[in-house]
């Protein structure tokens, strides 16, 4: 076969390739398809990740702006389109996030926690524990989680059912992309990293009687494009862990949280910080500040709301 014919066939195959529903469709370094299968739209999450979301479901749209940039070399020309979706009624706060749980692509149950190293893409399958290990707010441990992530691991495109006890345990830094907790038991995500930054990108959590993210380690957690509904706190720095200390830094950007408590609880005596930007909490509950300890005693709350030092806010709203 002639070389020109081979090149034409290869180009046609590349042009026809499309990302599946909930698949990646863009981002810095992404070399795969940038269009989605019929019924899905490529939605920008951040500079490193765009995802195919079901058209007309899961994204509340008020306006869409598109920025197009072109890179040209002597042999290739690449055009990248970035789309930002603004959530209606956000009052200048959160934009471009999904507030409706994606449809399940199937379900499975496991008798024990699934350990993940590297990257795991669940394809929007719902995972749950059987037998049930959820004991609501009774103290449980890593063995009662749905997933255990080794240091540096990534999990994405997963629904987590109600029968697990602690959702996801990260032994080191981890990345959580488009993961949905349908009914949080004790905690949705526990972070045990000694240093570094963990990322929660997209997804959401429903019905958390207490915390969604339990931050027991050190370093930083960055939460972006996340939805919380019916919860106690979105993130809590451990207030009374054995050997407690800090600092723990919480970055919250483009988050919508309704029918719940504060976005973060921090221990100022350990130098913890919480920076909240472009987000909405329907009751204006942004931060609680505590004096942490390592004795196991209940940590006293010493203040609420932004203080300009440990808790700061920018472009926040109560119109979610």
Q: What tens digit of pLDDT does each residue of 54-110 get?
A: 665 333 333 333 333 333 333 333 222 233 333 433 334 676 789 999 999 999 999
Q: Picking from 37-41, 78-82, 138-142, which range would have the lowest pLDDT averaged per residue? A: 78-82
Q: pLDDT digits over 230-244, tens only?
A: 999 999 999 999 999
Q: Where are the domains of the chain?
A: 3-86, 107-314
Contact 244, 292 (CB under 8 A): yes
Is residue 149's pLDDT more than 60? yes
Query: Is residue 221 within 8 Å of 251, Cβ to Cβ?
Result: yes
Number of other residues whose CB lies within 10 A of the CB of residue 253: 18
Per-residue model confidence as pLDDT tens digits over 280-320: 999 999 999 999 999 999 999 999 999 999 999 999 999 99
> pLDDT tens digits for 9-37?
444 443 469 987 767 788 766 788 999 98
Nearest residue to 214 (alpha-carbon basis) of 243, 195, 193: 193
pLDDT tens figures, 250-273: 999 999 999 999 999 999 999 999
Q: How confident is the model at residue 46 (pLDDT cuts 50, 70, 90)?
A: low
CATH class of 107-314: mainly beta
Give yes or no for a contact between 155 and 168, defined as CB atoms under 8 angstroms apart.
yes
Question: Smallest Cα–Cα separation from 239: which of 216, 260, 261?
Answer: 216
- Supply the pTM of this predicted model: 0.76
Spatial CA neighbour of 165 closest among 205, 137, 125, 200: 137
Residues paired with 266 in a beta bridge? 289
Of 53, 55, 60, the closest CA to residue 90 belongs to: 60
Whether 236 and 213 have beta carbons less than 8 Å apart is answered as yes
- In the predicted model, what is the mean pLDDT of residues 130-145? 86
Residue-wise pLDDT for 187-202, tens only, equals: 999 999 999 999 999 9
Give the mean pLDDT of the chain: 84
- The pLDDT score that the predictor gives to residue 42 is 87
């Amino acid at each position: 076969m002639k070389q020109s014919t081979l090149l034409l066939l290869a180009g046609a195959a590349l042009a026809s390739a499309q990302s599946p529903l909930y698949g990646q469709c863009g981002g810095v370094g992404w070399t795969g398809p940038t269009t989605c299968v019929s019924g899905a739209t490529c939605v920008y999450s951040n500079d490193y990740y765009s995802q195919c979301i079901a058209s007309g479901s899961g994204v509340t749209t008020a306006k869409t702006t598109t920025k197009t940039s072109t890179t040209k070399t002597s042999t290739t020309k690449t055009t990248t389109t970035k789309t930002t979706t603004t959530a209606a009624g956000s009052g200048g706060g959160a934009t471009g996030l999904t507030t409706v749980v994606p449809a399940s692509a199937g379900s499975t149950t496991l008798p024990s926690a699934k350990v993940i190293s590297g990257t795991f893409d669940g394809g929007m399958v719902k995972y749950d524990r059987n037998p049930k290990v959820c004991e609501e707010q009774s103290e449980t441990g890593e063995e009662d989680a749905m997933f255990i992530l080794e240091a540096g691991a990534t999990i994405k495109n997963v629904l987590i059912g109600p029968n697990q006890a602690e959702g996801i345990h990260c032994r080191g830094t981890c990345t959580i992309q488009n993961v949905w907790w349908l009914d949080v038991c004790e905690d949705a995500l526990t972070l045990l990293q000694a240093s570094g930054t963990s990322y929660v990108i997209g997804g959401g959590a429903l019905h958390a009687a207490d915390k969604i993210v339990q931050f027991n380690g050190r370093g930083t957690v960055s939460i972006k494009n996340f939805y919380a509904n019916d919860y106690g706190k979105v993130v809590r720095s451990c207030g009374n862990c054995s050997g407690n200390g800090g600092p723990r830094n919480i970055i919250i950007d483009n988050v919508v949280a309704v029918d719940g408590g504060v976005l973060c609880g921090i221990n100022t005596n350990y130098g913890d910080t919480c920076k909240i930007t472009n987000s909405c909490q329907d009751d204006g509950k942004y931060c609680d500040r505590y004096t942490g300890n390592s004795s196991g005693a209940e940590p006293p709350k010493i203040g609420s709301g932004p203080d300009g030092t440990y808790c700061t806010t920018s472009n926040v709203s109560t119109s979610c």
